[in-house]
Structure 1
């Protein structure tokens, strides 16, 4: 059982630490708003991660890699990335007016980043592909007759490492924000927005390749 826990924990760190749209959006939100928005994007992405993980471990994610599902999921993810990328470019070009933090509740400040993270993760075709293969690999490693308890332990270890990474990533971005000037904040916002748009275009091209 210890091996199952370590495997799930390690795979969770590798899966979440890989650079991609979620980190890019966390960086964009975090350099402007600090630790909380960056953390909210990361936590929101766990909604999609958990959903695809459950489907993958149940053996259902492989069905979603079929063309009739693959293309719609990819296009939905592309639209999300294009929208968020456009927000990043707009914020860099015309930064929002400074708001009094006391005038904005923590819940309202984090709602947008939470939704953004969840939508990116749910609309990520790479999550589908990853868990479509990982589910079979985990089942093979645990054996054909793997007990449900072993799968639940693996899932719990994966999610525990994912939550840990949320705080590590948000803390890193918050530290980076404190070391940056306002000009560099806008540069990173614009760069992150452009990167999200490029990712969306590349995904769309791959979907129809």
Structure 2
């Protein structure tokens, strides 16, 4: 059981530490809301991660591999990333200094961003679909309820620790950065969101539209 918990803990850190949209949004919200804003994004992403984890551990997550569900989830992610890119670029045009906004409204917006980014991330489908392989690698071929609970606990513990660590590091870096970096950081986040949206759209295109993935008619062989 300890090996399972440690594996879940390690996978949780790897999963959360991977750079992506949540990290970029944590930086952006941290510039406006300080530690509270950055942490709200991270906690929000945990809500989405927990949802995917429950679906994956209960086996329902396998249903999310269906094209009928994966495609709209991916498209929703593309649209939201594009909106974040536009919003960050607009902020860069009018923000030239770090103005902290620790109001509840800002924290709620940051929390909502984290939730939406996590829920609309189709990579979570692939991650939890591979959960059986991860458990099988440590000898758990037929996971029980207790196995699932231990894995879920380990994953969420790692995620919670990373949320505070990431928010703290980002806040410290931002507080020590020159104020004229604010504009550049907003623009960097906007570009990051745009690149991620285009990468996700390209991935969806290769899966569902690319000719290489279309069904080819069977070859007709003539009789000798």
TM-score by length of 1: 0.91
Q: What is the CA-CA distance between 1:185 and the residue it aligns to?
A: 1.3
Using the alignment, how far apart are the partners of 1:100 and 1:132 within structure 2? 40
Aligned to 2:180, the other structure's residue is in SS state helix
- Give the conservation status (yes or no) of the 8 Å contact 1:60–1:132: no
* TM-aligned CA deviation for residue 60 of structure 1: 2.1
What is the deviation of 1:59?
2.0
Distance 2:160 2:39 in 1: 10
Alpha-carbon distance, 1:66 to partner? 2.2
* Structure 1 partner of 2:153: 156
**Contact 2:44/2:112 (<8 A) preserved:** yes
Q: Which residue of 1 aligns with 2:4?
A: 4
For residue 133 of structure 2, the aligned residue among 133, 137, 143 is 137
CA distance in 1, matches of 2:123, 2:63: 14
Structure 2: give runs of 5+ residues left out of the alignment.
207-224
Could you tell me whether the CA contact under 8 Å between 1:9 and 1:158 is conserved in 2?
yes
Distance 1:99 1:178 in 2: 11
Q: Distance in 2 between matches of 1:196 and 1:181?
A: 23
- Distance of 2:62 and 2:69 partners within structure 1: 10
Q: Answer yes or no: is 1:194 the counterpart of 2:191.
A: yes
Corresponding residue of 1:30: 30
Residue 32 of structure 1: how far off its partner (Å): 3.1
Larger RCO (alpha carbons 8 Å, 6+ apart): 1
Q: Is the 8 A contact 1:62 1:133 kept in 2?
A: no
Q: Deviations over 1:30-58 (max 9, x none)?
A: 12331111110010001111111111112
Shift of 1:181: 1.9
Native 8 Å contact 2:96 2:182 kept in 1: no
* Preserved CA contact (<8 Å) 2:97 2:182: no
Specify which of 112, 115, 118 is matched with residue 118 of structure 1. Answer: 115
Higher helix share: 1
Residue 66 of structure 1 corresponds to which residue in structure 2? 66
With the length of structure 2 as denominator, give the TM-score of the two structures. Answer: 0.85
Give the CA deviation at 1:100: 8.1
CA–CA distance in structure 2, aligned partners of residues 144 and 100 of structure 1: 50
From the superposition, tell whether residues 100 and 138 of structure 1 become closer, same or farther in structure 2 (CA, over 3 Å): closer
SS at match of 1:8: helix
Partners of 1:157 and 1:86 in 2: how far apart? 36
Q: Decide which structure has the larger Cα Rg and report it.
A: 2
Q: Is the 8 A contact 2:34 2:100 kept in 1?
A: no
Structure 1 unpaired stretches of 5+: none
2:202 maps to what in 1?
Answer: 205
Between 145-154 and 119-128, report the one with greater CA deviation: 145-154
